[in-house]
């Protein structure tokens, strides 16, 4: 409500009128999933809404995903509308492009940091009490756990996952059928565990059914009582691995396909992956397209099929010009090394700060333990000790995470960069399909694309990672692309 009031006041002061509100309340800006009002707004603008532009409270409230934020803002401007943030300073001219890029980067980094902090705290509580948020997988149920009391005296409640005695026999039956070689459809019909076959693809590989919980990089071997034995789980998993190998070997789209960017291209309208398909009719030339999987699966996406060769040629040219340009590689290498050097220094300072906090918490735990020994147990002392131990576990995890992340990239000489770039260019434009696709996947992170009547346009997110060294977390770059002319998209 405060943001709405501020925007209304700004509009009145500037003689403007707000034509319509599109609030996605309590929705994450990290993706466009479930951002229904954002999609409604974009559809209205595409239909030629009689407004002057779009006003947002801030860039990070519009979107915290840098690629999607850039994509939607660019489309809004290309449609002839203004885009204005009430709280972000964006200068006019070429400098504004740089400011916007840094805003997008900062918003996305904030979202990543917030997510990491939440995960770190959740992991500490999980290690100590075994509690998990969310809903457990099929065959498990939530069991109430009291973690102490809130300041108002009410109990602090969380839940751990335990086997559901009503469903455990059905889960074992599913594993036994799979171990004997039954198909997923046969198992679905016999057990009725899931309404669709594809749900079983995450069911059988889940180690929780033999009592092992995996939470990120944390593995708890004896989290709960197993529903199936380790031997039965392995026999069922081996059947899945054998069939997965057969599927991969014969998958025409991902492994033997002529479509170079298969698995990397996504629809601008709905975010679904684009697959390749061939239209071959007698006495007519063969035609190859990328198509939106959601459009053909659910019939609710307006995306048009995109001619494969026109799109691939444009993307290969962009990779040549941007990701493999020697001058850009040298500049990017310098940027990456500077970035990680600053990050290293910041993390070192953060580690020192956390270690000081940890020392203080250790002293607090020692004092509380001594107080309990002298005065006996009391609710206040026990709650204080419990809270301090949880804080200690969280700080130790943060220190461990920082220790693992603190590494600096190694640089390459300009001569080495030039050799690497030429080798990759040869692979990109060579005849060997496997080498070409490997080079594309090494450089390309994601492509978001759409087609209108006479052009293909979108965003290419690429990684010039030939210059940052093995094992270094890759920094990405984003570029707009487009190909015009009806001939190129027929």
Note whether 51 and 75 are same-domain residues.
Answer: yes
Does residue 463 contact residue 474 with C-beta atoms inside 8 Å?
Answer: yes
Q: Could you read off the pLDDT of 305-339 as tens digits, one per residue? A: 999 999 999 999 988 888 788 887 777 777 777 77
Does residue 326 contact residue 417 with C-beta atoms inside 8 Å?
Answer: yes
- What does each C-alpha distance from 486 to 30, 268, 364, 454 come to in angstroms? 35, 20, 72, 5
User: What gap in Å lies between CA 72 and CA 62, rounded to an integer?
Assistant: 10
Instruction: Provide the domain limits for residue 396.
Output: 337-405
Q: Which of 153-157, 166-170, 212-216, 279-283 has the highest mean pLDDT?
A: 166-170
Indicate whether 363 pLDDT > 60.
yes
Note whether 135 and 242 are same-domain residues.
Answer: yes
Note whether 308 and 427 are same-domain residues.
Answer: yes
Where is the domain boundary, 405, 427, 444?
405
Note whether 222 and 289 are same-domain residues.
Answer: no
- 116 in a domain, yes or no? no
Q: For residue 105, what are the β-bridge partners? A: none
- 111 in a domain, yes or no? no
CA 477 to chain centre: 16
Note whether 241 and 272 are same-domain residues.
Answer: no
Indicate whether 149 pLDDT > 70.
yes
User: What gap in Å lies between CA 241 and CA 247, rounded to an integer?
Assistant: 10
Give the pLDDT mean for 184-203: 85
Note whether 154 and 222 are same-domain residues.
Answer: yes
- 232 in a domain, yes or no? yes
Note whether 293 and 426 are same-domain residues.
Answer: yes
- Average model confidence (pLDDT) for the chain? 78
In this predicted structure, what is the pLDDT of residue 140? 94
Here the tokens at position 288 are 């190859």
Give the pLDDT mean for 70-78: 77
Give the pLDDT mean for 133-155: 84
pTM: 0.41
Q: Could you read off the pLDDT of 230-270 as tens digits, one per residue? A: 999 999 988 877 766 544 434 444 445 688 898 889 999 89
Range with the poorest average pLDDT among 141-150, 326-335, 349-358: 326-335
Indicate whether 368 pLDDT > 80.
yes
Q: How confident is the model at residue 164 (pLDDT cuts 50, 70, 90)?
A: very high
Q: Which of 60-74, 96-110, 209-223, 307-321 has the highest mean pLDDT?
A: 307-321
Where is the domain boundary, 186, 220, 247?
247
Note whether 158 and 225 are same-domain residues.
Answer: yes
In this predicted structure, what is the pLDDT of residue 61? 60
In this predicted structure, what is the pLDDT of residue 312? 92
Where is the domain boundary, 405, 432, 460?
405
Note whether 309 and 426 are same-domain residues.
Answer: yes
- 118 in a domain, yes or no? no
- 122 in a domain, yes or no? no
In this predicted structure, what is the pLDDT of residue 107? 58
Note whether 291 and 435 are same-domain residues.
Answer: yes
* Number of folded domains that form the chain: 4
Note whether 213 and 294 are same-domain residues.
Answer: no
């Amino acid at each position: 409500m405060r943001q709405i009031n501020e925007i209304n006041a700004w509009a009145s002061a500037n003689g403007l009128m707000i034509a319509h509100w599109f609030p996605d309340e309590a929705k994450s800006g990290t993706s466009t999933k479930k951002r229904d009002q954002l999609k409604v707004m974009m559809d209205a603008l595409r239909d030629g809404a009689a407004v002057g532009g779009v006003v947002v409270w801030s860039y990070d409230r519009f979107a915290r995903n840098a690629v999607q934020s850039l994509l939607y803002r660019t489309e809004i401007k290309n449609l002839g509308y203004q885009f204005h943030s009430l709280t972000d300073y964006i200068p006019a001219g070429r400098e504004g492009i740089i400011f916007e890029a840094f805003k997008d980067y900062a918003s996305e980094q904030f979202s990543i940091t917030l997510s990491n902090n939440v995960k770190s705290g959740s992991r500490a509580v999980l290690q100590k009490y075994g509690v998990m948020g969310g809903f457990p997988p099929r065959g498990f149920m939530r069991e109430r756990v009291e973690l102490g009391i809130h300041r108002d005296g009410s109990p602090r409640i969380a839940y751990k996952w335990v086997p559901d005695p009503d469903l455990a026999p059905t889960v074992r039956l599913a594993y036994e059928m799979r171990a004997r070689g039954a198909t997923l459809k046969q198992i679905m019909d016999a057990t009725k565990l899931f309404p669709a076959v594809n749900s079983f693809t995450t069911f059988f590989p889940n180690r929780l059914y033999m009592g092992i919980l995996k939470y990120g990089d944390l593995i708890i071997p004896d989290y709960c009582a197993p529903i199936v034995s380790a031997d039965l789980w392995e026999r069922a998993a081996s059947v899945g691995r054998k069939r997965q190998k057969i599927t991969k070997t014969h998958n025409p789209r991902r492994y033997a396909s002529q479509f170079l960017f298969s698995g990397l291209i996504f629809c601008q309208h709905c975010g679904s992956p684009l697959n390749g398909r061939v239209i071959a009719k007698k006495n007519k030339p063969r035609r190859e397209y990328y198509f939106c999987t959601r459009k053909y699966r659910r019939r609710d996406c307006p995306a048009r099929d995109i001619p494969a060769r026109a799109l691939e040629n444009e993307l290969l040219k962009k990779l040549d010009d941007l990701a493999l340009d020697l001058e850009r590689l040298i500049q990017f290498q310098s940027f990456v090394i500077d970035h990680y050097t600053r990050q290293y220094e910041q993390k070192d300072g953060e580690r020192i700060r956390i270690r000081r906090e940890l020392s203080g918490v250790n002293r607090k735990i020692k004092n509380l333990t001594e107080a309990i020994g002298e005065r006996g147990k009391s609710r206040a002392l026990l709650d204080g000790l419990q809270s301090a131990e949880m804080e200690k576990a969280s700080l130790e995890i943060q220190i461990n995470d920082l220790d693992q992340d603190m590494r600096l990239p190694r640089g390459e000489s300009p001569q080495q960069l030039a050799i690497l770039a030429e080798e990759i260019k040869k692979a990109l434009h060579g005849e060997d399909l496997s080498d070409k696709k490997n080079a594309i996947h090494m450089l390309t992170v994601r492509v978001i694309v759409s087609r209108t009547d006479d052009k293909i346009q979108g965003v290419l997110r690429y990684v010039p990672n030939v210059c940052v060294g093995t094992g270094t977390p890759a920094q990405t770059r984003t570029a707009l692309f487009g190909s015009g002319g009806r001939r190129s998209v027929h």
